[in-house]
Structure 1
Amino acid sequence: MLPTIPFNKPYLSGPETRYIEDAVRSGKISGDGVFTKRCHQFFEQQLGFAKVLLTTSCTDALEMAAILLNLQPGDEVIVPSFTFVSTPNAFVLRGAKIVFADSTAENPNIDVASLEGLITDRTRAIVPVHYAGIACDMDAIQAVADRHGLAVVEDAAQAIDSYYKGKTLGTLSDLAAFSFHETKNIISGEGGMLAINNPLYAQRAEIIREKGTNRSSFFRGEVDKYGWVDIGSSFLPSDIIAAFLWAQLEHLEDIQTQRKAIWSRYYEAFASLVPLGVGLPVIPAYATNNGHMFYLVTRSLAERGALIDYLKQQQILPVFHYLSLHKSLFYAAQHDGRELTWSDHYTDCLVRLPLYYELTPDLQQRVIDGVLAFYAQQ
């Protein structure tokens, strides 16, 4: 029997467990230890972020961003409907009303052309999601935000080592949130990061992350004692998580080279499906590919279901992705009734193929052969 090809397999670069042991032996495994500081320095010095703070998840980073924006009940935040629930939920927790935007025909990223029509006198922020690590048109989004005095928060959960016009994604807005979940390129099991590019948010972000206290200032010797000075929560990860992450960051180039090679083999293999009406990922000229995800866009919901079932019979485990949040059980009644055609299209037709570091050429060829065999019989 053929071995099962999973959708994802977490990758150990080598020193993860040794670094975790080093963290334990250091006598400090709570937050902001040696490995956390190494990770912070990497992102700030190597990738150009003004300031970063590791968090326990991308969800927490988004929730910190929502607190930093001082949102009030009734304020509006524009979010794509085709995204994970964490994106809007962070702002709903602050009392904001979510105004959902559609995706584009080109790819699942936010439809920038629709933004002007969604803005009211209650709008406070736009939250673009760099789907599959492919950049949204940030110049156009920032221009809209500047015209209306809005904040921009990048949901860069999938966008490590991806760029917009040569600039690192997550550096192009006031705030940005990253994920190091086990399904991402660089992982720590669970884990995330808030990037703070507007210095006005930097000090308060530290306070919010430390349960609303000025504890970070105390440890830097800036105050002689620390106390409760703001709202916040326990967003600070253990240094054990940072130790795992640091091992991954040391091997970022190798991991990315491998993932992008796998992505490229898929893209070349499936070029023959495009004339049939099957969609492949589209990367605009201003964006780069970080090898996070490879997906196909089938011609119908029924076709996608049949493709997934066919591959599962071959011991290959593809998956679909998000469900349009404007139709969700929780928020449908609060949506304004607009049809979001492309979001629904990707909900019904997008299928993600296995992509992970240890996907060998032989295993990948099984996936490719399975997909091509399915379409050969259509």
Structure 2
Amino acid sequence: MPTPITTSELAKKIVNHEETLILDVRNTDEFDNWKIEGSKVEVINEPYFNLLDGIEPVAGKVNKDSEVIVVCAKGGSSQMVAELLEEEGGFTNTFNLEGGMKAWSEHLEPVKIGDLTDGGSIYQFVRLGKGCLSYLIESNGEAAIVDTNRMIDIYQDFAKDKDIKIKHLIDTHLHADHISGGRDLAEKVGGTYYLPPKDANEVTFDYTPVEDGNDIVVGNTKVKVHAIYSPGHTIGSTSFIIDNKYLLTGDILFVKSIGRPDLAGKAEDWVGDLRSTLYSRYKELSDDLIVLPAHYSFAEELGKGGSVSARLGDLYERNEGLQVEDEAVFRKMVTENLPPQPNFYHEIRETNMGKVTPENEKQREMETGPNRCAVHG
């Protein structure tokens, strides 16, 4: 029988940059839209129905002694294919990804980014199947979480293991590609939910506004979450400086790209804000700040241990989105050179406003697929 492999086990292989061979048996259009990626990941796509009459379509592509992880949408078809590989093909090292891509989309891998000056630490939660990044800042038994994902149990379990109390839940902006868990988690733990007010005009719930210059203190030490208004991805987008060392940029600036300004239908209106944030406001900050974005788009952005980060000064030298001196060229790039809108982005925005509350299974469906929050040069 094929050996099951959990999303956690697969995640460890990817963040540790281990050689990983995946046989994805979903339909080709589903595969082309969204797949498992990593710096040392090789993926072969052979739809399940091509293998019903025999494994010949993959027999010549994969060594029988190689470790092969078979993947499908939910884990059922991949189990059958893995069994065929063993029974008919003589494969000796096959694994089936439990829960398939559906489970992979929801896995969060915590990675320690570093220690803070007056005690405490900052952790990045990497959602490998979606490219989402969230952050937990802890000090003296308290924690703040920034850009919380929908799967809030993972943060609660992490906090319990570390014996810390979650006090502050912060969103850098109103998200359009994934459902925020910030408000739900705040209710569960009795914490405070913060949202930039310029993104909250249509929300149906109470929240605490977070605005330029506000400080949120975590623990009894001097660890501060300092807000900086940085519009462009949305009109309310707000960045945060942690411990005068880390810059949480939300969806404004990524390691290899920049944020898109069109997810609320305001590309022409917001492109000037985006340029001002990237080419003026951030330029006033220290080059030594470590940029921690809310998303990543490329497997090569995963660094040591799976973390995604870069020095701000280095990004001004190598990120193509920060190299466009001509404003007209920049405007054209960020309004015309855009990937497709995220799946269900309108419904996700309405969910994050509190206007609708889809059933959990519908929420999972809405989030399926890659993140599409970036402009790619």
Q: TM-score, normalised by structure 1?
A: 0.27
Higher helix proportion (structure 1 or 2): 1
Higher strand proportion (structure 1 or 2): 2
Of the two structures, which has the highest relative contact order with CA contacts closer than 8 Å and spacing of 6 or more? 1
Q: TM-score, normalised by structure 2?
A: 0.27
